[in-house]
Amino acid sequence: MKKILIALTVLSTVTSAQGQFQVNPQAGLTFQSLTDAPDGVNYKAAVGWQLGADARFGDRLFLQPGAFLGRSVTVVTTSGPAPNGAEGSVTVEDDLVRTNLKLRAQLGYRAIDSYQFDLRVMLGPSYDVLMSIDDRDGNLTWNEGNFNNGSFNIDLGVGFDMGLFTLSPTASFGLSRVFKDDPTLSQIDSKYMSYGLTLGINLGNDDE
């Protein structure tokens, strides 16, 4: 996966002198959850934010590398027996908050390419660099040392260009385990599942 990212990035640099080139600063929302919750645990995506930019090299078929800083939130609910032998159960809820730097390299195609409106589809690998982890209420037993430092993903998206503005819903499917492979966490095979929506502007030359 890392070799694919490097190859696409190098290829985008080689082709930058040819055809259309645009830079697209963007800001928007993220919704990140985890798959395969262990027994007694439930994950639910909450609203986070992202800020970054991508570049496009090419015309109908194009390369689109990008980098985005994001703050993602997942609500983690844990249920278990009441302490001290009391009857019933106890449910604890907390927000798992992660700051990531997403490095992305995608191949895209303009399915609709007109003067007033473009429709793009994109697919490619990404790598999320984990920068920090915290929980808002201090109820989680996990800490930053329990998480892997990064995650490989497959990202896909759709882009709508309307003159100066661009709107893009995206999805990112994690390929790497969230937690480190140590004895206490080896049975948790959770991976990241993320959705995003960004609004940005198109800067650069356009052949249309």
Three-state secondary structure call for residue 187: coil
Q: What is the pTM of this model?
A: 0.82
- pLDDT, tens digit, 9 for 90 and up, residues 19-64: 689 999 999 999 999 999 888 889 999 999 999 999 999 989 999 9
Q: Looking at the predicted structure, is the pLDDT value of residue 17 above 50?
A: no
- pLDDT, tens digit, 9 for 90 and up, residues 94-108: 899 999 999 999 999
Domain segments of the chain: what residues?
2-12+36-199
Three-state secondary structure call for residue 73: strand
Q: Looking at the predicted structure, is the pLDDT value of residue 15 above 50?
A: no
Non-local CB neighbours of 165 within 8 Å, separated by 6+ positions: 199, 200, 201, 202
Own/partner long-range contacts of 46-52 (Cβ < 8 Å, ≥24 apart): 46/73, 46/74, 46/75, 46/95, 47/73, 48/72, 48/73, 48/97, 50/26, 50/102, 50/196, 50/198, 51/26, 51/27, 52/25, 52/26, 52/102
- pLDDT, tens digit, 9 for 90 and up, residues 125-144: 999 999 999 887 777 878 88
Three-state secondary structure call for residue 144: helix
| Nearest residue to 58 via CA among 103, 124, 125, 120 | 120
Give the integer Cα–Cα distance in Å for 135 and 96.
5
- pLDDT, tens digit, 9 for 90 and up, residues 171-186: 999 999 999 888 778 7
